[in-house]
A and B are shown apart, each in its own frame.
Chain A
Amino acid sequence: MRLPLHELRWLKRAALDSNRPLESLVQRRLNHEPLQYIIGTQPFGPLHNLRVRPPVLIPRPETEDWVIRLAEHLSSSFSGRPLSLLDLGTGSGCIPLLLCHLCPNIVATGIDISPHATRLANENAEVCGIPHFRFKAFLGDFVHPGFPKAEAISPPYDVLTSNPPYITPDDYLRLSDDVAKFEDPTALIGGSDGLAFYRAIASLVARQGFLSPKATVALEVDHSQAEIVSDMLSPAGFKTSIWLDPWGKKRTVIAQRQ
């Protein structure tokens, strides 16, 4: 394997910045460790120093793209009134933190089942200068029936976002080492058909009083399942649309309560 020149330059800079020998960084990369874990950060929109750490899912460019678009959407449709946001499976905290950064009227809560994730997300809030009263990540299992009653949860929410695990077990076995060997499988595998977490989310948002009357739901999806996820939300009285990612793939289901 040969390292692309750009990766080599980024590793050089990281070696210099963190006073680590370049050789060991390159060796790690040659062993397929994701570049972002080696460097320790991944820029996400204008958040330049978002920290990443194994095994927490590394933010993807597709996610960056739709979150920036969502921020514009929220600013124009809610025109600055205070919004409370819930992010399910928050991982590094990238989604709620970028939304907090871009929309000063948002106060957000992140939920994750992994203590690695909640620790990292809270750390990232500090790195990004988002104070505690605007974002906090909590341990929680949003598939659990008792979840809506959890202490950290205070409905109604105006915005619900999630990039839940959506890879099927079959697909998981075909993933390249960069992903499969280093990132947390619990952040990737979405049950036997890749849809388990969307079912849980659909039943959550259908609950009386969980979302505010004009709430927005934004869910990242596998490109082959956008319509199915969209159909799951329709019975709960949502008008849905599907956003394409920069590569032309169906990537985000946006649901607006009428």
Chain B
Amino acid sequence: MFITKAPVEKVIELKNHIFILKIFAPEIASIIKPGEFLNVKVCDSNFPLLRRPFSVCDVEGDFIFLMFNIFGEGTKILANKHKGDLIDLLGPLGKGFNIEGDYDTAILVAGGLGVAPFPYFIRKIGNSKKIHSFIGGKTDKDIITYRMKNITISTDDGSLGIKGNVVELLEQNIEKLKSERIKIFACGPNAMLRKLRELCIRHNLNCEASIECAMACGFGICQGCPIESVNYPDKYLLVCKNGPVFNIRDVVI
């Protein structure tokens, strides 16, 4: 992990308020792994003060891609970056997805902006495994399919794909999917991950989930991002250091 000031190549608006930031950052591009993240200082001033954590969305040669939606002051500033603007990146941080392993099909489960880490995941996995993506959102406006593969969609209001949440969608397909050796990789809101965790326990499925959490430093000193551990109930794990990717059964979401 280190700090680098890297030039913005392009800001791409995918759809309503959802953006991709393409940054020239060869040092990071060469070492970052899927599921790891960067803590980004959006400007030099004291407002906003803290860095913002973003999973790496994709890597293409010397370029890294970050996906975000406009949520507050920080992301508004990011959306207004121009080619050549320098952006202050701290990383790579955290523990990413364990792509290797004894399975044939990676089941990707993403809620809303939870698709963010998966384009890079899909790129890294190449043709070594099959991919099936389940993507959910409140409405069709929240569905992002950027660089995703073999997609099935659900929306809460039924405006796109199957009506319902993405975990229900997965459950409808689970018996069929279980005929192969599968591993689930998930990212999304905690409410989704909570339901997914129950499903994984019920069906005895192997699942790694990337967990979102407010944090200040991103490298373990502020202790601002605790998560309850199943195996060590008398102490918290830190999302930034022990995660953000966890075996979904090991943590209380």
Q: Do A and B bind each other?
A: no
Chain A positions within 8 Å of B, measured between CB atoms, are: none
